[in-house]
Structure formats: structure tokens, C-alpha cells
Structure 1
Amino acid sequence: MDNKKTPLYVAFSTQKGGVGKTTFTVLAASYLHYLKGYDVAVVDCDYPQHSIAALRKRDAEQVNSDEYYKLMAFDQFKRLEKRAYPVLCSSPENAIATADEYVATATTVPDIIFFDLPGTVNSQGVINSLSGVDYIFTPIAADRVVLESSLSFAVAINKLLVKNEACRLKGLYLFWNMVDGREKTDLYGVYDTTIRELELPLMKTFIPDTKRYKKELIADQRVVFRSTLFPADRRLVRGSNLEELITEIAYHIKLK
């Protein structure tokens, strides 16, 4: 085991549920682990539903019951010579401890560990866990209620944690999700100005509003987008801005 390696701790987090944090956790983890050669782990502390752990279970059941996906999994394992990344269930207050314990005993230390935290900072332990990660990425949507909640969350985290030298957190970055192409004009210009005035970093990449982000492993459907066992299908990645988003994330977190 390489004791010198220190994994990056990264969370997709926001105060508002339903904006895509779990989806992006899965997509980023699978893209980096299966396509880019990094070793990844995921800590699912979205208690009590543990959405990513539930998705892993559905993925595994689908692979075991479908010959096409079974062969696909075998070919991937043979080609990469690596197993699926671990999904570790935890609670918000124990998230960092769960990751630290895994790193201490892992045969292969991950390059990056993603955290999926509850959609509210009011959940016990969320603030403490956020103070223990290296970077936070917050998806935002052009809905007034969602945006106000997301910006108040980002401003608070920026003030309490990012600017606090005692905390591990190095940066919080916003990015637009569920962007309707017909609206990406004046409305977003106004919002972008507000975000700049709040001195919050806004990423260049935006994610279009498309149903492909909800595609899981389903019988008789031979392309997959959101999966814990496979990377997003290249045919669906085109036009999704997923590749651009993860490239920009890798730049911000200084992923070598």
C-alpha cells in the first residue's frame, strides 16, 4: 500500500434536494474510475435513503440477470483489471471518519473519495463533514427558490469554512444544471452578475436539461448513462457537457 498517497476528498453538496448532487457524484466517480484510470471510492452519507448504495444494488441485480450487461461487466474487468469502486454507507456526522478508516486499511488507496451528503445543512453533522473535505461542487438551477437556497448555502460555507484557515476546505464552486437552452440568455446573465457580486466562483461548464441524466441500467436498453458499475456511454456523453464538467472539476481540484 502506498502510504504516501493522500486522497482528495470531494463533495457534491447543496442545501436544496433534487438539483443533481447524487447523480453527479455517480457520474464523476464512474467516469474517473472506469475511463480515466483513477482509483475512486464513494461515501454515501445521504442517510437514511443511501441513494448511491441503492443504485449499486440495482446495478448489480441488473448485471446478474442480463447476459448483455454480464458480458459487458466481464469485458470491462478484463480490460481494466480493476474492480468496481466501493460504495461505503455512513451518516453525515461520521462521513470523514468512514473515509479515513477506509484509507487506513485499503490495499489500494483511492486517488479521490466522493461524498454524497444530505440535501440540507441542517442535518446533524453535515457542516462538520463539509469542513473535512477538500472541495465542494454545488449544482444550481434557474429556479428562484432553488437558487436563493443554494446561494445562501454557498455564501455561508464560503464564509464559515473556505475562508477559515483552520478548515481543510480549499474551495466551493457553483455550476449551472438543468439549463434550458432557450433560456441561456438574459436570465442567466442577471443570475451570473448576482453570483459574481457575492464573490462565489462559478464554473464555465453548464449542464443542459436532458433526460439522459436519469438513464440507468434497464433490461433491453443497451446504452447507459448513470451507473455505479459502468461509465456513461460515449454516445450519450456527446452534447451532455459531462466530459467538459469533469475536466473543469479535475482542473479545480488539481487532479494529476
Structure 2
Amino acid sequence: MEKVRKSLKISIYTQKGGVGKSTITTLLASVLHYRLGYNVLVMDCDFPQHSLSNMRERDMKSIMESDYHKRAAMKQFQSINKKAYPVIKSKADSALDLAYDYVDRNPVEPDIIFFDLPGTANTQGVLSALKAMDFILSPITADRLVVESTLAFCEAFLALPVAGSDEHEQALWLFWNQVDGREKTGLYEAYNSVIQDLGLSIMKSNVGDSKRFRKETDDTSNYVFRSSLLPAEPQLLKATRMDLFIKEFLKIINH
């Protein structure tokens, strides 16, 4: 049980649907595990849709059906000499125990465990799982309802007492996702000012909006973006500013 404490527990979490928490989790996990040398474990607790487990199944099927992706996968797994990161299906209230159990049973300890939790905070186990995280990153979009509900949730969540003796340092960061380059920057500056007045942390880098976020690896396209078996290609990370986001993410978790 003790050794899991070294694994960082991280959740990309928001109560609002459609703002990209599962997509960002996958992009981060794949770049960290396949390209940057981290060992990653993903807990898919988003019951009942379990979108990350279903994505892994689709990715495996796509790789078998596409010569381009099959070659890319073979080359990758030979060069990094490790397996794909595990995606473990669970409910929110058993996710921590299942993660600890995985770590106890496996010789390679994950550096990072991502928890993809249901957006409904009153789902059993969600708040206690979030309280156990080392880092929570919450995506927001330039939509008044999204911003207001996220800020209200963050304030309420940070005010919650910690249960039992598991008091540990926890950091909560907001970040802008699905940013349209044509939107007025004044809008973001006004929101950032409100966020800072509330004493909340917001990342400097933001993630651009792109059709690529909605596109998975398939047999029609010779590039990789959203995949649980291959990392997004560097030029695509750059085009969506995910490269800068990942750099800042690593700075935050390693400081």
C-alpha cells in the first residue's frame, strides 16, 4: 500500500460534459507514456459509458485494420520496449482501491495514475476520489454557464473537509480548452481576472479548438491524434497548442 503514495494521482475533472476531459486525459497519458518515458496507469471510472475503455477497444481494432497504424505501433513498441498503458474499468467508489491493488501486484510502479471520473459530483465515490488526488486540472470553455458552474464547484470543493487522516497537499488548476483563435482575448482576460480574484490557479497555456479532437485513429487517415495506443504526432500537438500545455503540465506536477 505504501508504494502507491509515490505515484501521482491526477484527474482532469469537470462537471460539465463536452469540454474535453476524457480527450485531454488520453492525449496526456499517451504522450507521457509512449514518448516522454513516464509509466502511466489510467483508471476509467466514468460509469456507465466507460469511454476510455471503449476507446482502447476501438484503437486495437483500428490498428489491426490499418497498415499505417500497425507499422507505427510495431515500431513504437520495439523502440520503447514496454507495453501499452493499462486502462482499468471501475466505479468511482472502488477506483482508489483498484489502483492500489494494481500497483501492489505489478513490478513497474506507475509514475502517474489518471482517474477519469464521472462529471456528476454526487455520484457515489466521486468527491472522496477527488479529495485523494494530488492534482486536479479542470477544463473550462468561454461559455458563461461552463465558467460559472466550474468556479462554483471549485470553491465548494476546496471548502470541503478532508476525511480521516489522509491530509495531503493538493493543487487544483483551471485551464482554457477548445479555444477558438478568432475569439476576443478580452473575454479571456476578464474571466482570468475573476478567477484570480477568487484565489484559484489558472494555467498560462490553453488548448486550441480543432476537429482533430473529435477524430480517433481509424483506417482512413495516415496520422495519429487521439489514441490510447499511440501518441499524437508532434506537428498536431503544436497546431492545437497541446505541446505547450504538456510542458506547463509537467512543470506543475514536477515542481
Same fold (TM over 0.5): yes
1:109-142 C-alpha deviation (Å, 9 max, x unpaired): 1111101001121211100101111110000011
Match of 2:53 in 1: 53
C-alpha distance in 2 between matches for 1:216 and 1:223: 10
In structure 2, the residue corresponding to 1:238 is in which secondary structure?
Answer: helix
1:212-236 C-alpha deviation (Å, 9 max, x unpaired): 2222111120111100000001221
Higher mean C-alpha deviation, range 31-40 or range 203-212 = 203-212
Verify: 1:170 aligned to 2:170, yes or no: yes
Q: Is the 8 A contact 1:132 1:169 kept in 2?
A: no
Q: Is the 8 A contact 1:131 1:168 kept in 2?
A: no
1:165 positional shift: 8.5
Q: Is the 8 A contact 2:39 2:111 kept in 1?
A: yes
Q: 1:43 to 1:4 in 2, by over 3 A?
A: closer
Letter in 1 for 2:89: C
Verify: 1:230 aligned to 2:230, yes or no: yes
Stretches of structure 2 lacking an aligned partner (at least 5 in a row) = none
Match of 2:207 in 1: 207
Higher mean C-alpha deviation, range 42-51 or range 186-195 = 186-195
1:176 positional shift: 0.4
1:161 positional shift: 5.8
> Which aligned runs of 4 or more in structure 1 are off by greater than 6 angstroms?
none
Spell out the pairing of 1:104-123 with structure 2 (5 A cutoff): 104-123=104-123
Verify: 1:156 aligned to 2:156, yes or no: yes
1:128-158 C-alpha deviation (Å, 9 max, x unpaired): 1011111100000111111111111111222
Aligned-residue RMSD, C-alpha = 1.9
What percentage of residue pairs aligned between the two structures are identical? 45
1:169 positional shift: 5.0
Q: Give the TM-score normalised by structure 2.
A: 0.94
C-alpha distance in 2 between matches for 1:167 and 1:211: 41
Spell out the pairing of 1:134-153 with structure 2 (5 A cutoff): 134-153=134-153
Higher mean C-alpha deviation, range 190-199 or range 151-160 = 151-160
Aligned length: 253
C-alpha distance in 1 between matches for 2:189 and 2:45: 35
1:66 positional shift: 2.0
Q: Give the TM-score normalised by structure 1.
A: 0.93
Q: 1:199 to 1:244 in 2, by over 3 A?
A: same
